[in-house]
């Protein structure tokens, strides 16, 4: 094992390359300190000494979250020691670095200063070797955004996606031993919900998309941070197309619905999505019982934003702007979704947006070929039983489709599936 560590450190030490030169993402960061590396703590944390003041600081890399390395009685996480050794290879003790951020007072957990760390480039004679970018490129970090420190987040997301495609680093399903049930096919979807509603309006759907049952007992669901992890209890067997809805807050398993589970966290885990050069988002990750990263879902969409995952099979078939005014108009407004494809498509966690109105599809909402589903703006008739597999109601007393000008169907990653305007 010692020879493996030495080889890994030697390999990473010679392949640190500069991140692509892009003016935009760098506009929001400023160099605040020059320091020397004193010690690497793990794959995203290091201790440095300021060359001017002599003060020591525990620096947290911006942009990524690496697996925790073993320390003391803590065994760490799958990929933890490898990430730590990779960072040691990039930043040997004594290396001079520049520390950048949008805000010099930016701090994270345990009051650690958050910084973009740049190493010196002998070729350019500049500090332009972004260490977090290099770690992400080699698969040793989750995409981790901070609202006021996201200038480089678009670049980090790009290289992380490429590492995921290559199954490199922590994305290697065999990194920590033979993967549990290697033929499993699990889909994750994230319902961020309405921030004005209780925390349990936020949940992740974990669904078996394969043709055989999958036992996810002991598997772990997490977000990009280390705030709250959920381990599936014994007996968590998913039949084909079966799912679990893992809510962020506290609750009683299997209540109010049989597939409901609860993390027990007090606040929301999944940050609001943002587009543009300062890309903001998060992800849900499913690890098998050995700690291997097996499946994930990140948002918002990036290069695939205009790519309809259903190839126009799901459409907004028709809509009604209603009649008369006020509540009477609301009662006669509706939007109809249709599956004109040849296979069943599920819309769990997806949403309809029109103006300031937003509706999220409930877990288990699936459209068979040729079937339709209708969202009614008003309220259901008194005493009527609603078949949620074919329709739902906003229960609004005011019109939603009149002056908004369009209605859009989007995925949980903000990809547009269909749109109609008037």
Whether the Cβ atoms of residue 285 and residue 296 lie closer than 8 Å to each other? yes
Please list, in sequence order, all residues whose beta carbon lies within 8 angstroms of the beta carbon of residue 236, skipping any fewer than 6 positions away: 215, 216, 217, 219, 244
Q: What is the mean pLDDT of residues 53-74?
A: 93
pLDDT exceeds 50 at position 1: no
Angle at 298 between CA 132 and CA 255, to 5 degrees: 130
For 225-259, what is each residue's pLDDT tens digit?
988 899 999 999 999 999 999 999 999 999 999 99
pLDDT exceeds 70 at position 406: yes
Q: Which of 302, 337, 327 is nearest to 400 (CA)?
A: 327
Q: Which of 233, 266, 235, 234 is nearest to 249 (CA)?
A: 266
pLDDT of the residue at 71? 84
Q: Which residue matches tokens 């678009």?
A: 154
pLDDT of the residue at 46? 98
Longest dimension (CA), the chain: 79
pLDDT tier at 403, thresholds 50, 70, 90: confident
CA atoms within 13 A on the CB side of 310: 25
pLDDT exceeds 60 at position 328: yes
pLDDT of the residue at 402? 87
For 105-146, what is each residue's pLDDT tens digit?
999 888 899 999 999 988 888 999 999 999 999 999 999 999
The enclosing H or E element of 63 equals strand 63-65
Q: Set out the domains of the chain in order of their start, with CATH numbers.
A: 2-171 (2.40.50.90), 186-299 (2.60.40.1260), 314-421 (2.60.40.1260)
pLDDT tier at 317, thresholds 50, 70, 90: very high
Compute CA distances 170 → 17, 167, 174, 333, whole Å: 20, 8, 9, 49
In whole numbers, what is the pLDDT of the chain averaged over residues? 91
Whether the Cβ atoms of residue 249 and residue 200 lie closer than 8 Å to each other? yes
Are β-strands 366-367 and 357-360 bridged in parallel, bridged antiparallel, or unpaired? unpaired
pLDDT of the residue at 78? 95
For 249-301, what is each residue's pLDDT tens digit?
999 999 999 999 999 999 999 998 987 668 999 999 999 999 999 999 999 99
Q: What is the mean pLDDT of residues 347-372?
A: 96
Token duo for residue 151: 């200038």
Please list, in sequence order, all residues whose beta carbon lies within 8 angstroms of the beta carbon of residue 397, skipping any fewer than 6 positions away: 326, 327, 330, 378, 379
Rounded to an integer, what distance in angstroms lies between the CA atom of residue 127 and that of residue 117? 9
Q: Which residue matches tokens 């709250």?
A: 228
pLDDT exceeds 80 at position 23: no
For residue 89, the SS3 value is helix
pLDDT of the residue at 422? 95
Could you tell me what percent of the chain has a pLDDT over 90? 80
Is 26 or 377 the better-scoring residue by pLDDT?
377
Whether the Cβ atoms of residue 277 and residue 153 lie closer than 8 Å to each other? no
Rounded to an integer, what distance in angstroms lies between the CA atom of residue 263 and that of residue 227? 11
pLDDT of the residue at 17? 53
């Amino acid at each position: 094992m010692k020879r493996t560590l030495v080889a890994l450190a030697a390999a990473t030490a010679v392949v640190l390359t500069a991140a692509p030169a892009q003016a935009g993402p760098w506009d929001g960061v400023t160099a605040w300190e020059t320091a020397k590396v004193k010690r690497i703590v793990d794959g995203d944390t290091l201790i440095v000494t300021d060359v001017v003041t002599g003060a020591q600081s525990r620096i947290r890399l911006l942009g990524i979250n690496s697996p925790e390395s073993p320390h003391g009685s803590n065994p760490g996480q799958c990929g933890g020691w490898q990430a730590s050794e990779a960072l040691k290879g990039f930043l040997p003790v004594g290396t001079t670095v520049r520390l950048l951020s949008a805000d010099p007072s930016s701090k994270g957990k345990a009051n650690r200063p958050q910084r973009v760390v740049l190493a010196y480039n002998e070729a350019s004679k500049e500090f332009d070797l972004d260490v977090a970018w290099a770690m992400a490129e080699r698969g040793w970090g989750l995409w981790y955004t901070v609202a006021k420190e996201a200038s480089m987040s678009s670049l980090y997301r790009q290289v992380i996606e490429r590492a995921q495609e290559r199954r490199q680093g922590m994305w290697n399903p065999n990194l920590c031993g033979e993967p549990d049930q290697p033929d499993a096919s699990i889909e994750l979807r994230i319902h961020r919900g309405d921030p004005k509603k209780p925390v349990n309006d936020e949940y992740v759907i974990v669904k078996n998309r394969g043709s055989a049952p999958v036992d996810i007992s002991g598997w772990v669901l997490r977000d990009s941070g280390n705030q709250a992890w959920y381990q599936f209890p014994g007996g968590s067997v998913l039949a084909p197309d079966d799912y679990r809805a893992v809510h962020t807050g506290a609750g009683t398993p299997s209540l109010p619905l049989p597939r409901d589970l609860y993390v027990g966290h007090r606040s929301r885990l999944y940050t609001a999505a943002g587009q543009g050069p300062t890309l903001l988002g998060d992800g849900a990750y499913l690890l098998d019982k050995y700690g291997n990263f097996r499946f994930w879902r990140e948002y918002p969409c990036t290069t695939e934003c205009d790519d309809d995952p259903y190839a126009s099979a799901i459409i907004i078939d028709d809509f009604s702007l209603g009649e008369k005014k006020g509540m009477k108009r609301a009662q006669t407004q509706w939007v109809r979704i249709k599956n004109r494809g040849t296979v069943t498509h599920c819309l769990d966690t997806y949403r309809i947006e029109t103006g300031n109105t937003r509706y999220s599809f409930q877990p288990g909402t699936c459209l068979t070929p040729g079937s339709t589903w209708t969202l009614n703006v008003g309220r259901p008739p008194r005493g009527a039983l609603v078949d949620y597999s074919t329709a739902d109601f906003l229960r609004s007393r005011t019109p939603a489709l009149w002056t908004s000008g369009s209605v859009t169907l989007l995925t949980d990653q903000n990809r547009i599936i269909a749109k109609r305007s008037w």
